[in-house]
Amino acid sequence: MSTSAVVTSGPLEAALDDYLAHLRVERGLSANTTAAYRRDLARYVRHLESLGRTSVGAVSEADVVAYVTVVREGTDGGARLSPASTARALAAVRGWHRFAHAEGLATHDPSAEVRAPTQLRRLPHALSVDAVTRLLDAAGQGDGPLPLRDRALLELLYSTGGRISEVVGLDVDAVGWLDGALPGSGTGADAVVRLHGKGDKQRVVPVGSYAREALDAYLVRSRPGLAASGTGTPALFLNTRGRRLSRQSAWAVLQAASEKAGLQNVSPHTLRHSFATHLLQGGADVRVVQELLGHASVTTTQIYTMVTPDTLREVYAAAHPRAL
């Protein structure tokens, strides 16, 4: 049976539907995020049903532990999950059981003490400042409206640390030039952008001068021509048909610029990692970076504070009185 099958009936499924409605309505999670929870928890429901459980209140800690083993080994016929994916699946299970306990559907939370498999904590891949410069320069090479758009797109990704879905989802009015300046005015005014993150949470992020100038050039010299082929969409970044640029097309823009710059393994998240790493290396407070990235917890942001052995040696050599 496919692990993405839709849950349709039964007491466990009804309890699951209540939880998904809670996530969607009360917590404001997006349709994509709610669908991911449904896929994970549909597999969990089938596991519980195979054990003869008929209600969420009848689940034991042993049932949850067994589920962790099942998804790691794929013994239910589904995919074998990596430690990271298993942790995500267990997080979904924990959320459901916490909800069931809080709503009085269960007398206890059987998942509270269950731990996910240990996973290696890897440093995010970040480009050097020089590599980012080469990438952005490569995006702007060529004539016509597309190089101006591509440069503005990548400049904005790096300048704001935004997710690719957040940046391609922007409308023109989400970019604000301060002090009443307009695109093309040449005033050098600062700019901010309003990003919509996970759970439809909004945050306002400053836009650096390089990204502002690239946006200015795109909005004045490129977007009007692209928009003429469409039907008046408010989207900030447009394709050649005058419609909103898709995530896939934005990815292709990044890949093309990476090849021109001689870089490998560059993804939109690489620019997000580079944004955070470069800010922290420049002395930014981790909580400020947390706000800029839109992380719900500072723990997620703290991975960027992990340092390499080379950095440790450099700091030790510069700071310890008897290092040299």
Rounded to whole angstroms, how far apart are CA atoms 58 and 55?
A: 5
User: Is-catalytic flag, 320?
Assistant: no
Residues 116, 83 contacting (CB under 8 angstroms): yes
Is 198 an active-site residue?
yes
Spot the catalytic one: 37, 44, 67, 304.
304
Is the separation of the CB atoms in 97 and 56 below 8 Å? yes
Select which of 53, 94, 198, 243 is catalytic. Answer: 198
* Catalytic residue (choose from 269, 287, 313, 316): 269
Is 201 among the catalytic positions? no
Residue 274 is inside which H or E element, if any? helix 268-281
**Nearest of 157, 159, 156, 153 to residue 139 by alpha carbon:** 153
Would residue 125 show up in a list of annotated catalytic residues for this protein? no
**What angle in degrees, to the nearest 10, is found between the helix axes of 145-160 and 247-261?**
90
Sign, CA torsion 272/275/277/283: negative
Q: Which of 76, 82, 80, 106 is CA-nearest to residue 94?
A: 106
Which residue among the candidates 134, 151, 163, 278 is catalytic per the annotation? 163
273 is catalytic: no
Contact 236, 172 (CB under 8 A): yes
Q: Which of 46, 47, 101, 295 is catalytic?
A: 295
Q: Which residues are catalytic?
A: 163, 198, 269, 272, 295, 304
